[in-house]
Amino acid sequence: MLRSLFYVNDYNDNLPVGQTYGTTPVVYWNRAAKGEGFLQPYLKTVAAGTNLYYGGLSTTGRGPMSCPSQAAVSATRIFTYGYNSIIGNSGGGAVYAKNILRKVTAFKRASETCLVVDGISTVNGPYADTSLQTGNYPVGYRHGGGGNVFKNSANVVFVDGHVEGRRFGTIPDEYSPGYTNSLTKSYFWSPFSKDPSTIQ
């Protein structure tokens, strides 16, 4: 995700938003189709009309930069990387419609806040958040030891650009310490270390 840092340098320290609203088509941060996507100028060109996402895959195609450790699943599109929904969401839901930080220098602890993480979302929107593994935007644990489907580690890119492998149980989620505590007891998801729905 070094390309995200190129974007930050070119756009006055601002991170790319997760997606645009009120436009047709919706433009996601990682969309490869038709030359769209906020990071597209920093990535390799994809043939016009190709309906792929950077990091996405299905049985009909593997998008650029999709995680090689993730196998395709029949009739399912998988986003193999998820943008932190607290940072990336640009106002589509009430929880996020507060003054969400965008500038890297405004983050209280950029080295502790997730920007992008291995994901396994199958719904529209290449995000990751505190979801349980059955939720919309779960973290994709597909590295390290464990079973064939669920392993015990996920790779995390932090806002400051460094990468860490994190074991299951060390990434805050609804299992532990719970949804609100995930946002208020650490800076991992929320740059505020405070429930975004309470920000005035």
pLDDT at position 115 is: 92
pLDDT at 94 over 50: no
**pLDDT tens column, 57-75:** 888 888 778 888 888 888 8
Average confidence score pLDDT of the chain: 80
pLDDT at 122 > cutoff 70: yes
Number of domains in the chain: 1
**For position 45, what pLDDT does the model report?**
66
Q: How many CB atoms lie within 10 A of CB 37?
A: 21
pLDDT exceeds 70 at position 181: yes
Measured at the alpha carbon of residue 173, what is the angle toward residues 140 and 135, in degrees to the nearest 5? 60
More confident residue, 76 or 154: 154
- Is the pLDDT at 24 greater than 80, yes or no? no
Backbone angles phi, psi at 123, to 5 degrees: -105, 165
Please provide the DSSP assignment of 17-82 as one string: PSB-SS-SS--BTTB-GGG-STTGGGS----TT---BTTEEETTEE-TT--TTPPPBTTB-EEEEE
- Say if CB 87 and CB 101 are below 8 A apart: yes
Note down the domain range covering 120: 2-198
Q: Is the pLDDT of residue 92 over 70?
A: no
Q: Reduced to 3 states, what is the DSSP secondary structure of residue 156?
A: strand
At residue 131, the pLDDT reads 86
pLDDT reported for residue 74: 83
> Given a cut of 80, is residue 79 above it in pLDDT?
yes
pLDDT digits (tens, 9 = 90+) for 107-121: 889 999 999 999 998
Greater model confidence, 197 or 62: 62
Mean pLDDT of 149-172: 91
> pLDDT value at position 13?
86
36 vs 130, which has greater pLDDT? Answer: 130
Query: Is the Cβ–Cβ distance between 47 and 61 less than 8 Å?
Result: no
pLDDT for 98 = 47
pLDDT the model gives residue 99: 47
Rounded distance, CA 23 to CA 130, Å?
Answer: 27
Closest CA to 171 of 146, 127, 126, 139: 139
Tokens at residue 84, please? 């932190």
Assign 102 a pLDDT band (cuts: 50, 70, 90). Answer: confident
